[in-house]
Structure 1
């Protein structure tokens, strides 16, 4: 939720946003005005909101592919953070505060994995049952992964009639095709299942999405999310999704990588680790697998967390960004990796500390933005049972690190539950989700479109020589820069759509 209440008697505005950040809240506080909206484009219509790009937000976007925290891509606009509230007093004074914080993790495990799985079963079942309540047709986004499959299991248990399930498949791209796995789950629970078989989506969709997302977003899975939302909306008005399970229960691959790095830190002396980092920066191009992990190995664990899934490193961003813009950024704000490293809480251990950082950044500012904007473009309401308040509290307060992820396993607790409820033919160890065969599509119309857009970018936005080298390297197949090129293309499409500049 995000909402605002005007107190007529006290002439005071109160506003708040939900704990996980499922719904957006933009605002601009000016000497004579306070404006707020669930969409940035509404604020852009106001004469006192200039379309000037925030250099700090721009650097955050290049680093991670999204604009995190309370900053906004436009100067003079802010976002209310998840689990925060604000009050605007008569006279214009605005203050914000956190009304809730992610609970501290448990130190010791006094309950068995099976006992914890029992509680997860009860909490998730209760959350799904509550969110099934609807006076309009409802469906489920089923990827065939463990999160959406468990939501389907709970919905089938709670519903007196077959539930509707939907998935997107990519014929000819087996590594991205969720169809067979979703079908296994659908048949097991007797759902009314619908598949959308999609050829390479038209590149004409990208400017539409750039406009819808308000702030630039570099998550290419926005495309299948939009296509799936469009498919569901043909028959349903509300859908349940599986988002949030990875952040709450240790599902991402980088948690295993970070735990391995923690072990290596205890074995390898600091000078040797720094040498690895130096050699990596000097001889390996960005985009090579393991590059970010090697960079993170040279510093502390919180810096390793900050380098996880980074798109453009600081040296790369310095080359890519106009000199004046980069100088303003360095004078006015923290380096993106320093800011993200400061969020790491070592007392939570690993992977708990990394999961907490993802819950505060990647989840609300990438995943939930993608789901909200792509679904609302189709007038579809998506609900996230995994982000039920009681489930969040349980995951962070009661589940120890040993039941989250280890060097050999991820998402331990949901898998225990999955073995009880899901069909045995379903591979619980696979991790895909609604992803896009972008590298394959880049060899056709998408690659041509990216090149056309980026070749005509204003020199005040990107350094053209750096962009050309990225495209040439990608075309020669030397390094996979697809996500980086998608990032730059979406930024330029957003900038053109809203006529924003520095």
Structure 2
């Protein structure tokens, strides 16, 4: 895995400042500790940090075609590079290396912007074509690899693998993107294509940018791929016969590496499935696996991971996150570059740290919940949709709206009597209800948290607009597939894949995600919803296919998730640090929040009256971000 960076002067040929580009590239050296490389020409600078995985001796970047007029800097893996090399060689292209990077420049020569349609893998890359005076930026279909960009005054384009690469430029303006704050306290992250900064953007998954120096104009992202639900549904027989063989093939092509390779093994369904298939594919050697355990058994899955490791005779290693492991809080703020509120970033960081001691590449099970409907919230959404269908919208608003407002928030009570959130969701439309379901803080809480200044800047903006924008493009009327699509467009790239990329790259570890192979995603999107959720069981078809390969209690136990005991931390060892962060000058001076309401959240949590751990963690991480980046 690698890091890329670059500067393009769109309207002139002024020499790029090598000191600035070197600084931008050096700040992401953790992504590629093995080598760096630069290329300069009139009005252009390209930079690269390399983590050597394939063709270790060759494929140094920036890499050029045989005539030296097309260059690429690339982060990721093209898994079908061998087939592409054969095809492009037959068309007359001459290769000088044995890796996957060179296929990109020749594919560009052969197919232009359509080259992305030929790549199977995870990638973010930049191609410079000197003859055409064009810069082509592209990101993989699901957003596994990140790519940021910004346009400075004077039409100077910056790009990089992390946001800190962009902000390292001395001319970058760190003005806040205020709707991003609304998104953050709703979702726990800022959704693509935006960042916390008004002047920096994420390239959307499945999109590209084509910039032409001869015709400089407004930068626009172009979509080249999307999940399509219009294809005929698969039959039960097709699902049963093809689900695992297709996944096994996706795993198989991800076992190519010239460095030690292993897998994450949490003891959950998805990671266990990947390890089982890896063990079947490499029977001549044991799979290297690693997991993280907790001293708090409510959060610990290590016994289940050990069970799978024993079944498949893996070289298994377990690390421990103890109940006081909050030393990463400050580091995480610098790692993610913008507010990011998923507390499972802590164990993710630790498991990547453990894995890197033994391997350079690790396979993960990310994507299984989105693809096969594994989240409990999907089942809730279907139930709520049935009730919405039975009652007119006006009646639902008048009946459930007041109930949602007056019903107490019984965080301490058994789940079946905690009806407040259900009432609130039923009063809304399907999209607004689902947005509430996934929210860290609901609209009423955000309204109390935000200051008059921030509300004025937001001018009525609501994070629900993110879902509305994506729902308008979802080619389905299926209630389950719609929310799966929303998660694949928002939660998956904004939270899950961001978490894994930054945590793994902090340790120079490459993570591969076979479940998110785009061909597999295209196939799995045709599975009927009734086969994904059966008798209140999510991932039904997936689990049934895995029954010959994994124990029953691995497949059908209650889902735990990769969580940390934040609520207890905030009432115990992290109490004082939390209070200091909430009362910090950085948070107060920002003018963005109602400080009295923040203290109310803190006091209610300390008393045990309410569990505000998610909201408080979000505020803690925002405070650390603001102090580090805006101070």
| TM score, norm. by length of structure 2 | 0.75
Counterpart among 95, 98, 107 of residue 223 in structure 2: 98
Deviation at 1:327, TM superposition (A): 1.2
Pair 1:461–1:287, CA change in 2 (3 A): farther
Q: Does 1:145 align with 2:268?
A: yes
Residue 130 of structure 2: aligned partner: 8
For residue 108 of structure 1, report the CA deviation from its aligned partner.
Answer: 4.9
Gaps spanning 5+ residues in structure 2: where?
1-122, 413-417
1:28·1:34 contact (CA, 8 Å) conserved in 2?
Answer: yes
In 2, distance between residues paired with 1:4 and 1:108? 37
Match of 1:341 among 468, 480, 490: 468
What count of residue pairs does the alignment treat as equivalent? Answer: 494
Structure 1 residues 1-56: Cα deviation after superposition (integer angstroms, max 9, x where no partner): 11110110111110100111111111112342011111111111212211221101
2:523 counterpart of 1:399: no
Instruction: Please say if residues 264 and 363 of structure 2, whose CA atoms lie closer than 8 Å, have aligned partners that are also in contact.
Output: yes
Report if the CA contact (8 A) 1:306-1:338 is conserved: no
Distance in 1 separating the partners of 2:337 and 2:168: 13
Cα RMSD between the aligned structures?
Answer: 1.9
Q: Does 1:361 align with 2:490?
A: yes
Residue 374 of structure 1: CA displacement?
Answer: 0.8
DSSP-derived class of the 1:458 partner: helix
Q: Write the mapping of 1:412-491 to structure 2, written as runs, cut at 5 A.
A: 412-456=540-584, 457-459=587-589, 460-491=591-622
1:26 aligns with 2:154: no
Alignment check: 8 A CA contact 1:256 1:406 kept:
no
Cα distance change of structure 1 residues 291 and 138 upon mapping to structure 2, 3 Å threshold: farther
Please say which structure displays the higher CA radius of gyration: 2
Q: 2:300 aligns with which of 147, 158, 177?
A: 177
Q: 1:284 to 1:494 in 2, by over 3 A?
A: same
Greater than 4 Å deviation, 4+ residue runs: 105-109, 285-290
- Judged with a 3 Å threshold, the aligned counterparts in structure 2 of structure 1 residues 197 and 203 are, in CA distance, closer, same or farther, namely closer
Distance 1:198 1:63 in 2: 28
Aligned residues of 1:312 and 1:484 also touching (Cα < 8 A): yes
Q: 1:150-299 alignment to 2 at 5 Å?
A: 150-159=273-282, 160-171=284-295, 173-274=296-397, 275-285=399-409, 289-299=418-428
Say if 1:168 and 1:434, in contact at 8 Å, map to a contact too.
no
Contact persistence 1:18–1:83 (CA under 8 A): yes
66-75 or 359-368: bigger deviation: 66-75
C-alpha distance in 2, partners of 1:176/1:437? 7
Write the distance in 2 (CA, Å) between the matches of 1:196 and 1:92: 52
Q: Distance in 1 between matches of 2:336 and 2:469?
A: 27
Shift of residue 452 of structure 1?
Answer: 1.3
SS of structure 2 residue aligned to 1:101: coil
1:60 and 1:287 mapped to 2: Cα distance?
24
User: CA–CA distance in 2 between the matches of 1:215 and 1:130?
Assistant: 34
Secondary structure class of the residue paired with 2:571? coil
2:501 is equivalent to residue 372 of structure 1: yes
Report the Cα distance in structure 2 between the residues aligned to 1:97 and 1:167, rounded to whole angstroms: 39
3-state SS of the aligned residue for 2:292?
strand
> Do the aligned partners of 2:273 and 2:546 also contact (CA within 8 Å) in 1?
yes
- Within 2, Cα distance between the matches of 1:478 and 1:107? 51
Flag the 1:286–1:13 CA change in 2: closer, same or farther, 3 A.
farther
- TM-fit CA distance, 1:147: 0.4
Deviation of 1:107 after TM superposition, in Å, equals 6.1
For residue 277 of structure 1, report the CA deviation from its aligned partner: 2.1
User: 1:281, 1:338 → 2: CA distance?
Assistant: 23
Asked if 2 retains the 8 angstrom alpha-carbon contact of 1:178 and 1:433, the reply is: no
Deviation of 1:427 (Å): 4.3
d(CA) in 2 for partners of 1:86 and 1:346? 24
Counterpart Cα distance in 2 of 1:464 and 1:287: 23
Counterpart-to-counterpart distance in 1, 2:144 and 2:309 = 27
Distance across 1 between alignment mates of 2:251 and 2:424: 41
Q: Equivalent residue for 1:497?
A: 628
Cα separation, 1, equivalents of 2:159 and 2:419:
42
* SS of match in other structure, 2:476: helix
Distance 1:291 1:190 in 2: 47
Q: C-alpha displacement at 1:92, in angstroms? A: 3.6
Considering Cα pairs closer than 8 Å and 6+ residues apart, tell me whether 1 or 2 has the greater RCO: 1
Shift of 1:462: 2.0
Question: Cα offset for 1:128?
Answer: 1.0
Tell me the residue number matched to 2:190. Answer: 67
SS in 2 for 1:445: coil
Aligned equivalents of 1:196, 1:144: Cα separation in 2: 14
CA–CA distance in structure 1, aligned partners of residues 624 and 298 of structure 2: 29
Give 1:57 deviation, angstroms: 0.7
What stretches of structure 1 of length at least 5 have no aligned partner?
none
SS in 1 for 2:536: coil
In structure 2, what is the Cα distance between the partners aligned to 1:290 and 1:414? 31
Separation in 2, partners of 1:403, 1:196: 36
